[in-house]
Amino acid sequence: MKITHIEFGMLRVPLKTPFKTALRTVEMIEDVVVIIRTDSGNVGYGEAPATAVITGDTHGSIVEAIDKFIAPRLIGQDIANLNRITQLIQTALEKNTSAKAAVEIAVYDLFGQLYNAPLYKVLGGGEPVITTDITISVDHIDKMVADSLSAVDRGFESLKIKVGKDIGVDIERIKAIYAAVEGRALLRLDANQGWTAKQAVYAMHTLEDAGVLLELLEQPVKAQDIDGLKYVTDRVHTPVMADESVFGPMEVVELIKLRAADIINIKLMKTGGISNAIRIADIAALYGVECMIGCMLETSISVAAAVHVAVAKSNVITKVDLDGPSLSQFNPVDGGVIFNESEISITDAPGLGIREIRGLEPIRV
């Protein structure tokens, strides 16, 4: 099974409600889809969102990086040589992690197809059912409480609450949501770099003293402020999770050595794909550090790949934040992983199991 051609498409899926964080507001998923064709007739699919404020990737840069730097290296490569292909992808150019991830996802899809097995099985196996949280966007307090209650009524037992806009209002938001769902759902706070270290400690002490029990606090400070992240981790009882502060394996090693966070958030669009995500999970397992697997605003193409990784590495990936499909108005993918609100399950179909992607617009290069 050798790679013969790589194509691109644009996929647009409106969200059920605007996605609002301390960094941005988004109303529609608009992602680049990568299609890898082979001489055997097998097709692999990958996907990458343009998350410029986090990864630096744009639609244009994703297509350019793949078309001009990655694709020429892969034409003629045999899918069976997976490690060689992933090395070719990762060394094609610096950064551009979302572009690399999209290509890797499509390659791993084909690798599963080559051995006629769902991807998670060739990654090590596991129980093919996991449970995700859902994001509650930052908004007016009444709206956030209503959204939280709605999510709980739909069966979600963990809520990721977006904060980081205004420290005083953030505290009131969290108190109100906690009072509304106490005993029915766990709360995960995500400040998306919106607080200073001292603000984060103040907010968490205020909440902890008020009896608000939180599962974790995600990325309270700026991505580059590792000292600030450690300052918070050392001073609050609630576990602190690093997200934007860690992209690749080396950053994870340094963060763990510094004890700057308690949990690592793995995202394929940060790691550059599945190969480094697996490395990060293995590193964290060696140090006894828990991981979450998350996603950007992605559809069930790339989120499916993250699901397979989560199942195969469930010994260390203990928390799941793969709610992109749940936030979307519809699922454009036929086949593959089944997303049913909080429950996500994998079929026995080879690779990612994708049969068709509806509404895909060709991108000419």
Does the domain made of 121-356 have the CATH classification 3.20.20.120? yes
Q: Which residue has the tokens 């490690």?
A: 83
Q: What string of DSSP letters covers 214-278?
A: -SEEE--S-TT-HHHHHHHHHH-SS-EEESTT--SHHHHHHHHHHT--SEEEEEHHHHTSHHHHH
Q: Where along the chain do its domains lie? A: 2-116, 121-356
Dihedral sign computed on CA atoms, order 46, 47, 52, 57: positive
240 close to 261: Cβ distance less than 8 angstroms = yes
Token pair listed for 4: 């013969």
291 labelled binding-site residue: no
The answer to the question of whether 160 is labelled as a binding residue is: yes
Report whether 99 contacts 70 (CB < 8 A).
Answer: yes
The pLDDT of residue 22: 83
- pTM of this structure: 0.98
Active-site position among 267, 270, 313, 319: 267
CA geometry: angle at 111 spanning 69 and 249, to 5°? Answer: 60
**Distance from first CA to last CA of the chain, Å, rounded?**
25
243 is in an annotated binding site: yes
31 assigned to a ligand binding site: no
Task: Name the residue among 189, 216, 185 with its Cα closest to residue 342.
Answer: 185
**Distance between CA atoms of residues 330 and 332, nearest Å:** 6
What per-residue confidence (pLDDT) applies to 133?
A: 98
Q: Would you write out the chain's pLDDT as a tens digit for each of its 365 residues?
A: 999 999 999 999 999 999 999 888 999 999 999 999 999 999 999 999 999 999 999 999 999 999 999 999 999 999 999 999 999 999 999 999 999 999 999 999 999 999 999 999 999 999 999 999 999 999 999 999 999 999 999 999 999 999 998 999 999 999 999 999 999 999 999 999 999 999 999 999 999 999 999 999 999 999 999 999 999 999 999 999 999 999 999 999 999 999 999 999 999 999 999 999 999 999 999 999 999 999 999 999 999 999 999 999 999 999 999 999 999 999 999 998 999 999 999 999 999 999 999 999 999 99
Active-site residue, 313 included: no
In the residue annotation, 162 being an active-site residue is answered as yes
Q: Is residue 101 classed as helix, strand or coil in its secondary structure?
A: helix
Report whether 169 contacts 141 (CB < 8 A).
yes
In the block, tokens 């608009």 appear at 30
* DSSP annotation string for 7-62: EEEEEEEEEEEEEE-SS-EEEEEEEEEEEEEETTS-EEEEEEE--TTTT---HHHH
CA–CA distance, 310 with 267 (Å, rounded to integer)? 11
Catalytic residue among 121, 162, 270, 313: 162
Q: Are strands 290-294 and 263-267 parallel, antiparallel or unpaired?
A: parallel
Please indicate if the annotation marks 153 as binding a ligand.
no
Q: Tell the CATH superfamily of the 2-116 domain.
A: Enolase-like, N-terminal domain (3.30.390.10)
